Structure 1
């Protein structure tokens, strides 16, 4: 009898000892799974050109118009990113808003050439694959950034120009418009003023147009966008009408990968605006990325070094917007102002126009 009691007690002890262990295993495992960090970082930055943008030269109504359009543009891209869309999609749609506005020197608001036509340039780059597409000197494409994207994904090339680019646009179903679509009275009057200034200056002392401050500042107004999506992929895009009174089918930095646009998931995405010849010579966009990759400096350090030191040493001015793979941003310029805005994953919006904001 004593043996039976002892055996029963031993069985009871073993079973009681196992149940808490099994219960702990069942309750602790789900707890571990639910404590994973699911926060996804993303962000977007835009520019609408840099130059001699001074408060005293800006009417209240025009300032409000610029800020409203910058906000509309960046919120368009931010919504795409917030909903899980790609950085490439956000860059395109954001730039479309600015290309469709006469306020900026891109698309609808493009400046005039010496021949009184509009020649548009654009580029886009994918930071994940380092694939890129660009177009230059197109005259009938409503949204050049969309054509640049098609060059990237549906051709074996990076840069197409002129009539060939326009033929490719038609084959890809890109929206084509009559050249008259790009006409704005404001830009046409600017061309006439630049021509008059150029003529007076050349008669006065035989200096070239590019040495005249008035003519030099007439080219600013390029638009650009950089973005980081929830998948950690970076993208950059730039679009412009180029330089007022440009001749000989001049092409600036905007469609040049590494100068006007660059994106690399290892480092950052950059879009430039300014005097294109110097941005090409300094390969400004790529230079910022290269400093981060090879020297290990931060985005802000690289942007400051290139825009505040290296670019002026060449004789150039302008600015950049950039975002790195961690969501840090830079909006660096060495001019009086730059139209700019940024939004982070929390939806915090900042808009600036002048130097000290």
Structure 2
């Protein structure tokens, strides 16, 4: 009996020692923090003019600073995420809101979602054509309805009843996005063999899958919120819906672990449940946010054939950008006011 007690004591000490490094990793690094993204894809410096690069960086800076000011002044992560995303939705630079891409039928169909890490409540809308700021509609689905997701005409009707700004669909027209659709449709009509068509899709169309904006924030009260908004995929048909409005794929938040917003080839993010999987690895396997994000994006998603990336913040204020593409429009600010804005892989 005495020998058994000694063995138990030794084993207990051994496992207690093993737990020590994990406890050290759980120190608070930021009182509050915010990260944003404006989409990922084959974003190469050689294809970017100085003027265009400056425009993207200026808009990312405007968005991240808006969210940061809200958090710094004691506002909530919900307010910060919504307002930061509004700025990107109102810009024609990003595939969300004003800059939404066109479907095969030459319309704009937008999706968005948001999740509260404290309550695990969430809201999403899909396929709306006349709501100026889809992220706000998603938030109101979460706070003012018994549902999680509304779609199409019903989602637009709900947004109107809630007093959101409804615009004529022509508001979302931009020459750049419309020309992109026409180029793709013209290519589709060209007589190409199977291999040539596949090459065209791989090289010319793939980035049409990646346009999304998102934000994740941790506020001074320890609450994490994640939000994502998108115009979907250029030339999409049949009311296709990607990962952006799907809780667990495009958006997830849990105060016990982290908040995540995704951007990439939505079909793969749905199959891998990317956003939730990162949280689950932290919860069930004790991984850090960085380890979990790398495992999901660089291993699981990549093996499936998916491309894209995520932004994330954990409960201790650690911030992560993880992507397997050539670039991702992204920015972050911590509670010290340090700002980082990047576009290319570095």
TM-score (norm 2): 0.89
Cα distance change, pair 219–321 in 1 and its aligned pair in 2 (3 A): same
Which aligned pairs between 1:180-329 and structure 2 lie closer than 5 A?
A: 180-200=170-190, 203-205=192-194, 211-329=201-319
Give the secondary-structure state (helix, strand or coil) at the position aligned to 1:121.
strand
Unaligned runs of 5+ in 2: 1-28
In 1, Cα distance between the equivalents of 2:188 and 2:133? Answer: 31
- Aligned Cα RMSD in Å? 1.4
Q: Is the CA contact 2:117–2:253 (under 8 Å) kept in the aligned structure 1?
A: yes
* C-alpha distance 143-166 of structure 1, shift in aligned 2 (>3 A): same
Maintained 8 Å contact 2:211/2:233: no
Q: CA deviation at 1:216?
A: 1.6
For the residue of structure 2 that corresponds to 1:239, the secondary structure is: strand
How many angstroms does 1:132 deviate by?
0.1
Find out whether 1:159 has 2:141 as its counterpart. no
Partner-residue secondary structure (3-state), 1:212: helix
The residue that corresponds to 1:85 in the other structure is: 75
- Secondary structure of the 2:147 match is coil
- Separation of aligned partners in 1, 2:272 and 2:244: 13
Separation of aligned partners in 2, 1:331 and 1:119: 27
Aligned counterparts of 1:128 and 1:211: Cα–Cα separation in 2: 41
Q: CA deviation at 1:208?
A: 6.7
1:209 to 1:259, Cα distance in 2 relative to 1, 3 A: farther
Residues 154 and 208 of structure 1, relative CA distance in 2, 3 Å threshold: farther
TM-score by length of 1: 0.87
Asked whether the equivalents of residues 120 and 144 of structure 1 are also in contact (C-alpha less than 8 Å), the reply is yes
Structure (1 or 2) with the larger CA radius of gyration: 1
Deviation of 1:200 after TM superposition, in Å, equals: 2.9
Distance in 1 (CA, whole Å) between partners of 2:110 and 2:65 is 25
Q: 2:17 maps to what in 1? A: none
The answer to whether the 8 A contact 1:209-1:215 is kept is no
Local SS of the residue matching 1:136? strand
Q: Which runs of 5+ in 1 are unaligned?
A: 1-38
Provide the C-alpha distance between the structure 1 equivalents of 2:178 and 2:171, rounded to a whole number of angstroms.
13
Pair 1:59-2:49 in alignment: yes
Deviation per CA, 1:32-86, whole angstroms, max 9, x where unpaired? xxxxxxx970000000000000000000000000000000000000000001111
Deviation at 1:199, TM superposition (A): 2.9
